[in-house]
Structure 1
Amino acid sequence: MQVLYQYWFEYLRLSPSYELARLHRTGKLSALDRQRLPKDFDQVLRVFDDFGNLQQKLFKPWWINTGLALMGTPTKRPSPKSISKLTSNKEVKSVLENVEKYIRNDWAETGEPDTLLIAVPLNIKRSRLITEITQILSNSISNKPTQSKAQYQLIQKKTHLQTLKIGIKTLWLRALHNESELWRIGAEAQVSKTYSNEVDPKATKKTTLTSQARQTLTIVTSRALLNANMVAENAARGIFPSNAKHPYAVKFNADEFHQVLAKQTAWAKREKAKYR
């Protein structure tokens, strides 16, 4: 299910309304931008204030620090785990590093549930060990597991992931190649199982043999872009995944997002370099 939340994250980054909210909150909204503000801009701003500026976020840290609290759903089911074995010849530092790693990764990814850290000596009888651990657990475990109510929920958990994938790729390619013909975008994004493979998106010459495929791809790609834009615009209003026509949806501007993606890609490259 986490993949759906990641798609939500990605569609928000390509939502025209959400981008206007980012510009507004960062004080960069132009006079022309103000003319494009949707009538329900207050709703978009509320979503933006919850999700944040995603143009300068990587999904995993955002999910751990922000997404989990918003969605109320852990990425992994909590389960017991052996963290480290303490022996006389093992440095305490490495044990502490393992504990810190568990807290930073596994514990965070399961929504930071109440967790008991137990020291289990391994040189005593199994029967005594089980008895004593059982007693510790009975004194600590609550029979009523807490479950936070999600502020944002998926409107449908079962959806066609391939459609979401094609949609985000189509928007991305349209912005990346903002002056390219639609049939080229469609061929590269694989919007049609039938026609996308009949043409070369990088072809320098157009032939009569590919005329029908190019015409069809242009129509299908245009439809895919409209559909994906609507998914992004609904996402900006806390509704995902949905391609239902929204009355206040802002039109996707390839030139605008060409610049947005250029800055986003440069930032992500610098950020990822820190972890190498």
Structure 2
Amino acid sequence: MGVINLRKKDEMGFSQFLSEAHEHLNFGKALALSIPLNQSVKLSLSQVKALIEANQDVKESALRKIKPKLTLQGQRFNFNALMKGFGLLKFKAAFPAMEHWRLGAAATLSDSYSPVLNCLAPRQSSDAIEAGDRILMGKITYRALDKYQKIAENAARGKFPCNDPVAMGG
């Protein structure tokens, strides 16, 4: 073996190789080493082994398979809908005696009815259209309260998101 004479172009390529992280398509990460030639072979090999072990990714087979404490029950769920529903539950907890249509309007549960209904309006509706909107918003809110109470209760029991009926009692 002899000393390799590098041209300026090769030096630039090698310098660039050292300054960037590289991954080989078939082998993954690569590590460039410089080994001092004036030390013993045994010491050099132990240092190379230590470097390889320090930079090697943990093998997946070596990892213990840890079962999560909770798993998602459904394949998909709408985050924004869940947040609206849990916001509705917070309003219900804060104002348990409030009418359902007011709760739904305050929680902006419906994109079509919430903007037109004022949750602070007097009890007497101003016209028949508003009265109809309040009735529909009350129905929407009642169903959403039922659904999200079931989701919250099932989540407390380790099933999320799941709105299956919950057996109360023993």
TM-score (norm 2): 0.62
Corresponding residue for 1:151? 69
Q: Partners of 1:146 and 1:238 in 2: how far apart?
A: 23
Answering whether residue 140 of structure 2 is matched by residue 234 of structure 1, we say no
TM-score (norm 1): 0.40
Aligned counterparts, 1:130-141, within 5 A: 135-140=49-54, 141=56
**3-state secondary structure, aligned to 2:52:** helix
Corresponding residue for 1:128? 34
Q: Partners of 1:186 and 1:224 in 2: how far apart?
A: 9
Unaligned runs of at least 5 residues, structure 2 = 1-31, 36-43
Bigger Cα Rg: 2
> Structure 2 vs 1, CA of residues 145 and 212 (structure 1 numbering), >3 Å: closer, same or farther?
same
Corresponding residue for 2:28? none
From 196, 207, 210, the counterpart of 2:126: 207
Unaligned runs of at least 5 residues, structure 1 = 1-125, 250-276
Q: Partners of 2:149 and 2:108 in 1: how far apart?
A: 17
How big is the alpha-carbon RMSD for the aligned residues of Structure 1 and Structure 2? 2.7
Farther off after superposition, 136-145 or 160-169: 136-145
Corresponding residue for 2:165? 245
Higher helix share: 1
Answering whether residue 170 of structure 2 is matched by residue 170 of structure 1, we say no
Q: Partners of 2:74 and 2:47 in 1: how far apart?
A: 42
- Equivalent residues, number: 123
Higher strand share: 2
Instruction: Using CA pairs under 8 Å that are at least 6 residues apart, name the structure with larger relative contact order, 1 or 2.
Output: 1
**3-state secondary structure, aligned to 1:214:** helix
Q: Partners of 1:181 and 1:230 in 2: how far apart?
A: 20
**3-state secondary structure, aligned to 2:159:** coil
> Structure 2 vs 1, CA of residues 232 and 203 (structure 1 numbering), >3 Å: closer, same or farther?
same
Corresponding residue for 2:104? 186
Q: Partners of 2:114 and 2:47 in 1: how far apart?
A: 61
